[in-house]
Amino acid sequence: MSPPSDTWIIAAQCPSRLGTVDVVTRFLKEQRCYITEQHSFDDRLGERFFIRAEFRPLDDDFDGEAFRAAFAPRAAEFDMGFELTPPGTRMPVVIMVSKADHCLNDLLYRYRTGQLPIEIRAVVSNHPDLEPLAAWHDLPYYHFPITPETKAEQEAKVWQVIEETGAELVILARYMQVLSSEMCEKLAGRAINIHHSLLPGFKGAKPYHQAYDKGVKLVGASAHYINDDLDEGPIITQGVEPVSHADYPEDLVAKGRDIECLTLARAVGYHLERRVFLHAKRTVVFAK
C-alpha cells in the first residue's frame, strides 16, 4: 500500500485559481524533482483545488526543510496550504476495539508485514477479551470499561493514552461505542471508523441476520472519518460483496467481516499516503 521507499509526497489545496497546477509542478522541476505520480481535482461547485504528487529528488543533497521554506512564499500567493511527507514516514496510531477481532487482526498483520506504514503505540478497548492478541504483538493494551455513568471518565482515560503516545491517527476497528461530541471534535480529521453498509439499512442487533431475512443481494462496508453524527462522517472508502439466496446468515457475516477488513485497511492506507482531503462534509480521495 505504501509509496516507494525513495519518494516524497506533497499534498496541497487552495481556492480555485489559474496556475494552481503550474505552481506545484514548476517548482518541483526547478528543484530537480521527478514526479512519479500526480493527481489533481478542481471542485467547480466548491471552488476549491486539490493536488497530490509523489516525487523523487534527482540530487543526493535534497533538503526537505529547505524545500518547504522555498515553496512557502509561492504557495502563499495562491492561499495554498500544503504538507510535505518524507519517504519512510510511519504514522503513530492508536487502535480502538471492542470484542470483534477481525479488523484488529487484519491491521496487525498488515502492520507486521509492512503493508501499512504505521507505528502502533497502543490498543484501547472497553473489554479485556483481545489483550492476549495485543500481547502476542508486544503492544500495550488498555482496558477501560464503560457504562453510561462513567462515559466521560472513560473517554478522559482514552484521550490521555492518545496524547501520551503521540498518536496522529486513531483507528476504530469495530469499537462498539458512540464517542461523545467532545471526543469527536478533538479527533476531527484523524479518527477513522468502519461499519457495515447494507441496503436497505438495518439498525439494531444482528444486522446481517436482518439482511438475510430480507433477501439482500449485496453486503458492504463504509470507512469514514468520525463526526458528531453516528456513522455519517465524511466517507473515505466503501466496499461491496455480492451475495445470493444460497448464502445463509453466517455466510453474510463472514463476507461482511472480510469486506470490513479490506475497506478499513484501504481507508487507513489512503490516509497515511495523504490521498484524502477533507472538503466541507465530504472528502476528495485520490485513489490508486
117 and 190 within one domain: yes
Question: Is residue 2 in a domain?
Answer: no
Domain end (from 60, 85, 110): 85
Looking at the structure, do residues 234 and 140 belong to the same domain, yes or no? yes
Q: Is the pLDDT of residue 67 over 90?
A: yes
Residue 210's pLDDT is what? 87
Domain boundary residue among 55, 85, 115?
85
Q: Does residue 121 sit within a domain? A: yes
Catalytic residues, which ones? Answer: 231
Q: How far is CA 151 from CA 54, 128, 158, 173, 182, in A?
A: 42, 17, 10, 19, 12
47 shares a domain with 105: no
Structural domain that includes position 151: 91-285
Asked whether the beta carbons of 134 and 61 are under 8 A apart, the reply is no
Q: Do 240 and 219 touch, CB atoms closer than 8 A?
A: yes
In tens, the pLDDT along 7-65 reads 999 999 999 999 999 999 999 999 999 999 999 999 999 999 999 999 999 999 999 99
pTM for this structure?
A: 0.94
Q: Which residues pair with 285 in a beta bridge?
A: 276
> Could you tell me the CATH number of the domain that includes residue 239?
3.40.50.170
Cβ distance 225 to 234 under 8 Å? yes
Q: What is the CATH number of the domain that holds 50?
A: 3.30.70.260
Task: Report if residue 148 sits inside a domain.
Answer: yes
What's the mean pLDDT in 207-222?
A: 88
pLDDT of residue 3: 62
Q: Provide the domain count of the chain.
A: 2
Listed residues 39, 70, 85: the one ending a domain: 85
What percentage of the chain carries pLDDT values higher than 90?
84
Q: Per-residue pLDDT for 161 more than 60?
A: yes
Residues 59 and 104 in one domain: no
